[in-house]
Chains A and B, each alone.
Chain A
Amino acid sequence: MYNIQKHLQYNAWANEKIVGFLANVDDMVLDTEIKSSFPSIRKTIMHVWDAQQIWFLRLRGESISGWPSQEFTGDTKELFSAFIESSHAFVNFIASKDKDYLEGKVSYKNMKGTDFSNPVDVILFHVVNHGTFHRGQILTMLRELGFTSFESQDLIAYYRLENQV
């Protein structure tokens, strides 16, 4: 049986890879305009962070009416730290849940106030898949900006490391 908690740990690991890389580059790199789904690396990260926060709140039955990152005023270091914290929050939250919870549904209101009910496990797989999509974009954006050497963010690279432990 596939371990969804490990899948969420992978998400935190992959986000840490990105943040670890960006911690060593100039802040300017994050804000340089590049054509992508979001026009800079910082905005791409904020979008991934937003998605993580919104779905995490919904899992807890809370609903919000706006993007969480809009109220964020911190610097880069604070952004990275909040982003990583939100990635680990999923892992910790799920650790205390049983199979029935994961296979059950959670109800929430979307940003327009409409009621929705969706399967917990699908939401979790969506969050990770969504992050991976945009992490791929960040890699391409970094390459556009002249960076050429990266560590693998493949899920199988994560599992190979896990197997060594």
Chain B
Amino acid sequence: MYTIHRHLQFNVWANQKVVDMLADVDEAVFEKEVISSFPTIKKTLLHIWDAQLLWLTRMKGGKTPIWPSAEFTGGKEELLKGLVQSAQDLADYIATCDQAFLDSKLTYKNMKLIEYTNGVEEILFHVVNHGTFHRGQFITMMRELGYTSFENMDLSSYFRLF
């Protein structure tokens, strides 16, 4: 059976693909303006990291963390490390939770302080889906910047479906 645990591992893998693709890319490329939901590769990746950290913090019952995007001053290495580490932290934490927790509901306030309640598993599938959406944007932005060769990040590649 396909589980949220495998989906969170897929999310780690897909973020790692982003990191692999950027390994030899010049740091300046991260800061180049491209029209998208977020105006640079750096801000797009920080946004994925933000969401992963935010939801992990909420899952643990903690207060809203300081956004990586708000306080981040590091360079490429640190950014890529944070992106994958936050995905790994989420997968690792959820691996310790039982099915009763996954089936339970979480009440939280959004950034505008409106209260919402969602199923924990719904939220976790959202986090991965959200990352996938912005990873798609990341690829389009890279193409806009002249890159043409990328690794496949499809779930079918992760599972070797053909």
| Residues of A in contact with B (beta carbons under 8 Å apart) | 1-2, 7, 34-37, 102-103, 110, 114, 116, 118-119, 121-123, 125-126, 128-130, 132-137, 139-141, 143-144, 153-156, 159-160, 163
Contact indicator A121/B140 (Cβ below 8 Å): no
Q: Is B118 interfacial (CB-CB < 8 Å)?
A: yes
Min CB distance A124 to B, Å, is 8
Contact indicator B123/A143 (Cβ below 8 Å): no
Contact indicator B156/A155 (Cβ below 8 Å): no
What are 16 residue pairs bridging A and B, where the CB atoms are less than 8 Å apart in the complex?
A2-B121, A35-B144, A36-B143, A37-B136, A103-B1, A116-B162, A132-B129, A133-B154, A136-B134, A136-B136, A136-B140, A139-B137, A140-B36, A140-B37, A144-B36, A160-B118
Number of B residues near A (Cβ < 8 Å) is 38
Contact indicator B129/A122 (Cβ below 8 Å): no
Min CB distance B115 to A, Å, is 11
Min CB distance A113 to B, Å, is 12
Q: Identify A140's interface contact among B4, B125, B141, CB under 8 A.
A: B141
Q: Identify A2's interface contact among B35, B118, B122, B159, CB under 8 A.
A: B122
Given known A-B contacts A35-B143, A155-B122, A129 and B129 have beta carbons under 8 A apart: yes
- With a CB–CB cut-off of 8 A, which chain B residues contact A125? 2, 7, 155
A119 to B160, CA, bound (A): 11
Contact indicator B161/A136 (Cβ below 8 Å): no
A110 to B161, CA, bound (A): 10
- Against A, the Cβ 8 Å flags (1 = close, 0 = not) of B115-155 are 01111011101101110111111011101100000000111
- With a CB–CB cut-off of 8 A, which chain B residues contact A130? 154-156
A36 to B144, CA, bound (A): 7
- With a CB–CB cut-off of 8 A, which chain A residues contact B122? 2, 155-156, 159
Contact indicator B159/A36 (Cβ below 8 Å): no
Residue of A nearest to B121 (CB): A2
- With a CB–CB cut-off of 8 A, which chain B residues contact A160? 116, 118
Min CB distance A146 to B, Å, is 9
Contact indicator A144/B136 (Cβ below 8 Å): no
